[in-house]
Amino acid sequence: MRRREHLRPAVVRGSDAMKIAVACIVPALLVACSGDDPGAPPTAPICGAEMLRSGEATYYAADGSGNCSFDPTGDLMVAAMNELDYAVGGACGACAAIDGPSGSIVVRIVDRCPECPAGNIDLSAEAFAMIAEPIEGRVHIDWRYVTCDVTGPIVYASNADSNPWWLAIQIRNHRYRIAKVEARATGDSAFTELDRQEWNYFIAADGLGEGPFDFRVTDVYGGAVEDTAIALAPGAEANGAAQLPSCD
C-alpha cells in the first residue's frame, strides 16, 4: 500500500534472514532463543509475561500512517514491524518497549516493514534518536510487547466504503493486540468471525445489514469485551462501552 524510504540504506538480507528463533518455554518464563526449528509453531503469549525479542532497529520518515490504515498523528513515537511479527496486521496498534544502545522507548506499531528480517523494527526518526545516535543508522535492540497506555474504551471505526452488503471494521484505542473480532446484527443469535486483512480491518464480505451491530473483540491473551447496538455510519467511529481486561 505504500513505499517507505529508509533515511539510511538498509543491508540486503538473504532469504534465510526471514527465519525467526521460536520461543522456548522454561519454568515460569518465556525467553527468546536461537538455533531452534524455525518451522515450529509460535508459543502462545501469556498475559503479563511477553517474551523478550532481539533484532535491529532502523528508521524512516514516519507520520503515523501506513499499512495499519491509521491516520497521521502528531505523536511520532511510532514504528513499522517486520513482516513476520506484523502477522497480517496482528501487530497493528500494539505497543512495544525497546531497549537500544543509549536509551529506551515505547512505540506504537502503525506500519509494516516488508523488507525487515524477523525481530527487526523500523522506527520513526524521532523514536530512533531516543535509543541511539541517528548517524548509526542500524543498531541492536531488545524489545517486547507491553500494555498500551490508553484511556477510555475501545473504538470501532467503519471503513468509508462499508455498506449493508460489505462491512469493514477497524479496532482502535486497544490495550493489547487483537486476536479476533466477531460481529452480528443486533437481534441475531450468533456471532460471525470477521476476516482479518493485512491493512488492519476486519471484513464481513457479505455484509451484516444496516445495523446496529453487536461486537465481541478478543485479545491475544483471551480477554474479551462485548458491545451491543453499536450504530456505525460509513467512515465514522463509535466508542465501545469498555476497554480490554487488564493483565495488571
Q: Tens digits of per-residue pLDDT, 131-169?
A: 999 999 999 999 999 999 999 999 999 999 999 999 999
Q: pLDDT category, 171, cuts 50, 70, 90?
A: very high
| In the chain, where the domains are located | 15-146, 155-239
Grid cell in block for residue 94: 500494539
Q: Mean pLDDT across the chain, nearest whole number?
A: 86
Grid cell in block for residue 134: 541517528
Beta bridge partners of 178: 219
Q: Quote the percentage of the chain above a pLDDT of 70.
A: 82
Grid cell in block for residue 148: 498500551
- pTM given for the model: 0.82
Grid cell in block for residue 221: 491473551
Do residues 79 and 123 touch, judged by C-beta distance below 8 A?
yes
Q: pLDDT category, 11, cuts 50, 70, 90?
A: very low
Per-residue exposure over 192-206, b if at least 16 CB sit within 10 Å of its own CB, e if not: eebebebbbbbbbee
Beta bridge partners of 243: none
Q: pLDDT category, 44, cuts 50, 70, 90?
A: low
Q: pLDDT category, 42, cuts 50, 70, 90?
A: low
Q: pLDDT category, 71, cuts 50, 70, 90?
A: very high
Instruction: Please state the length of the chain.
Output: 248
Same fold for the pair 15-146 and 155-239: no
Task: Find the range with the poorest average confidence among 32-36, 85-89, 205-209, 232-236.
Answer: 32-36
Q: What is the DSSP letter of 166?
A: B
Q: Per-residue pLDDT averaged across 3-19, rounded?
A: 36
Q: Per-residue pLDDT averaged across 223-233, rounded?
A: 96
| Angstrom distances, CA of residue 49 to CA of 11, 29, 145 | 32, 7, 9
Residue type, 28: A
Q: Which uninterrupted H or E stretch holds 146? A: strand 139-146
- pLDDT tens sequence across 85-141: 999 999 999 999 999 999 999 999 999 999 999 999 999 999 999 999 999 999 999
Q: What pLDDT is attached to residue 50?
A: 93
Task: Find the range with the poorest average confidence among 10-14, 43-47, 59-63, 243-247.
Answer: 10-14
Walk across the sheet containing 167-172 and list its strands: 195-196, 202-204, 167-172, 155-158, 237-239
CATH topology of domain 15-146: Barwin-like endoglucanases (2.40.40)
CATH superfamily of the 155-239 domain: Expansin, cellulose-binding-like domain (2.60.40.760)
Burial label, 190 (beta-carbon count in 10 A; 0-12, 13-18, 19+): exposed
Q: What pLDDT is attached to residue 48?
A: 79
